[in-house]
């Protein structure tokens, strides 16, 4: 099938590459010509494990192409997948400008019957609205149907999450659209669940918001553990044995970030508010995560009072390991506070430092290794559990730092090991 994917961000690029790897004729569209040139050279504009290998493989095979000429590519596509961004507005709602822009381009250039697939995360009812919009603006006598097909990718495992999806959710109105989507995913060994479009849209929000809620819940419990003297590691271990709960997303830390959870929780909250309904669980999720992102600073201020002229090592910038994504990363909030209070900061991240330099004009030093960042530091904050950081031994903090004080936002170390090495160590939900 001839598939055109609008957008080469995480969702669009991974989707296009994986569909090409399953034998479809795929063209990825992006208005950023530099990004298209980069892709044609076999380079990925984003860091995602195994993605670049598949980019090279399928481009060489001829079934994966890139273009900025949407007028040509949209004309005779069998399927057009909309995978552009829906960034958060100031009021928490989803900005659909990019989705409507692509819809307009499709309506003006389509010359054959086509299935339009919305893979972007959009508010409930958007698929209906986009289908109406395209039909009202079609320049040629063609039939279209809009299909909801939300993504469930996790950055750092996006290729695997696509190739070995836990489920493929498809919202359709007709048997014809259902048959075409069945054909699109024929070679994927994943269950396909067909439903109406609004239910499909809701599955995406309900899934992401539940995971965000689970993270915030265990962070809330971790904070209470410190108050009452319990150990969150033992608590989560005891909880995880219950199959109804499981171990996934029960790791306490300094809050979630990235492109999905922050945006999707706020968007669903906004949608509910507009409908006159209050989602108390999501309101709590958002509030807990906001505080959790700076909980290490709060801990540090009790011990250190202020950070003026203090040498601070920051280990990890990305919101999680396996990606260079800095969107809503806890590191950013903390770096801003530390700079405001006069700290001298040296940062290290194995993948996200170049992007950090491009996106943030902060006066910080950049280390070439994690250990270099630690050298002569008064205090260290850990925000991302990269393997390189996890492999630093407790005694090395004592040897490298001027004052071995570590605030670990990802609970990497055993507190007893750090204590034996005479490192002042603070983590989440485990006391000192």
* Residues 6+ positions from 369 with CB-CB distance below 8 Å: 348, 388
Handedness of CA 74, 78, 84, 86 (dihedral sign): positive
- The helix or strand, by DSSP H or E, that contains position 192, with its residue range, turns out to be strand 192-195
- The helix or strand, by DSSP H or E, that contains position 130, with its residue range, turns out to be helix 126-137
User: 242 and 66 in contact (C-beta within 8 Å)?
Assistant: no
DSSP secondary-structure letter at 242?
S
CA-nearest of 225, 244, 267 to 94 is 267
Three-class DSSP category at 7: coil
CA-nearest of 171, 163, 107, 170 to 139 is 107
User: 279 and 268 in contact (C-beta within 8 Å)?
Assistant: yes
Three-class DSSP category at 365: strand
Q: Which DSSP string corresponds to 29-66?
A: E-S-HHHHHHHHTT--SS--TTHHHHHHHHHHHTSEEE
Residue 369 has a CB neighbour count (10 Å cut-off) of 12
CA-nearest of 68, 76, 81, 87 to 113 is 76
- Lay out the sheet containing 405-408: strands in order across: 365-366, 344-348, 311-315, 379-382, 405-408, 424-426
User: 50 and 44 in contact (C-beta within 8 Å)?
Assistant: no
Calpha distance 396→429 (Å, rounded) = 24
User: 334 and 293 in contact (C-beta within 8 Å)?
Assistant: yes
What angle is formed at CA 125 by the lines to CA 178 and CA 174, rounded to 5 degrees? 20
User: 58 and 95 in contact (C-beta within 8 Å)?
Assistant: no
Calpha distance 116→105 (Å, rounded) = 12
User: 79 and 184 in contact (C-beta within 8 Å)?
Assistant: yes
Instruction: Tell me the CB-side half-sphere exposure of residue 270, using CA atoms within 13 A.
Output: 17
Clarify whether 260 is annotated catalytic.
yes
**Active-site position among 18, 28, 114, 260:** 260
Catalytic center residues? 260
């Amino acid at each position: 099938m001839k598939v055109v994917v609008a957008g080469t961000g995480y969702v669009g690029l991974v989707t296009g590459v994986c569909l090409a790897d399953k034998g479809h004729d795929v063209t990825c569209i992006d208005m950023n010509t530099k990004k298209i040139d980069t892709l044609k050279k076999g380079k990925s504009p984003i860091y995602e494990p195994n993605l670049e290998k598949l980019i090279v493989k399928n481009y060489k095979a001829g079934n994966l192409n890139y273009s900025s000429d949407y007028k040509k590519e949209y004309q005779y596509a069998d399927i057009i997948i909309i995978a552009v961004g829906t960034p958060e507005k100031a009021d928490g709602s989803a900005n659909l400008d990019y989705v409507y822009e692509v819809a307009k381009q499709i309506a003006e250039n389509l010359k054959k019957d086509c299935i339009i697939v919305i893979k972007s995360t959009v508010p409930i009812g958007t698929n209906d609205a986009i289908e109406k919009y395209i039909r009202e603006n079609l320049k040629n006598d063609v039939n279209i149907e809009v299909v909801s097909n939300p993504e469930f990718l996790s950055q750092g495992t996006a290729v695997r999450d696509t190739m070995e999806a836990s489920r493929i959710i498809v919202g359709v109105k007709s048997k014809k659209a259902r048959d075409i989507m069945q054909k699109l995913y024929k070679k994927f060994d994943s269950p396909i669940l067909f439903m109406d479009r609004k239910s499909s849209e809701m599955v995406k929000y309900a899934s992401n918001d539940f995971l965000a809620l689970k993270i915030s819940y265990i962070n809330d419990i971790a904070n209470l553990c410190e108050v009452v003297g319990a150990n969150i590691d033992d608590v989560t271990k005891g909880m995880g044995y219950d199959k109804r709960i499981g171990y996934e997303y029960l790791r306490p830390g300094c809050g979630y970030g990235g492109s999905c959870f922050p945006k999707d929780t706020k968007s669903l909250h906004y949608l509910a508010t507009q409908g006159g309904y209050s989602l108390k669980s999501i309101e709590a999720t958002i509030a807990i995560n906001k505080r959790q992102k700076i909980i290490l600073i709060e801990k540090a201020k009790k011990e250190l009072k202020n950070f003026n002229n203090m040498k601070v090592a920051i280990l990890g910038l990305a919101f999680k390991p396996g990606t260079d994504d800095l969107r809503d990363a806890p590191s950013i909030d903390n770096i801003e506070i530390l700079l405001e209070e006069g700290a001298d900061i040296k940062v290290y991240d194995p993948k996200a430092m170049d992007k950090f330099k491009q996106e943030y004009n902060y006066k910080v030093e950049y280390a070439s290794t994690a250990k270099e960042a630690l050298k002569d530091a008064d205090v260290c904050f850990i925000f991302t559990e990269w393997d390189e950081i996890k492999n630093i031994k407790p005694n090395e903090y004592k040897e490298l730092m001027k004052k071995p004080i570590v605030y670990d936002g990802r609970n990497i170390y055993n507190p007893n090991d750090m204590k034996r090495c005479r490192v002042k160590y603070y983590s989440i939900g485990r006391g000192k």
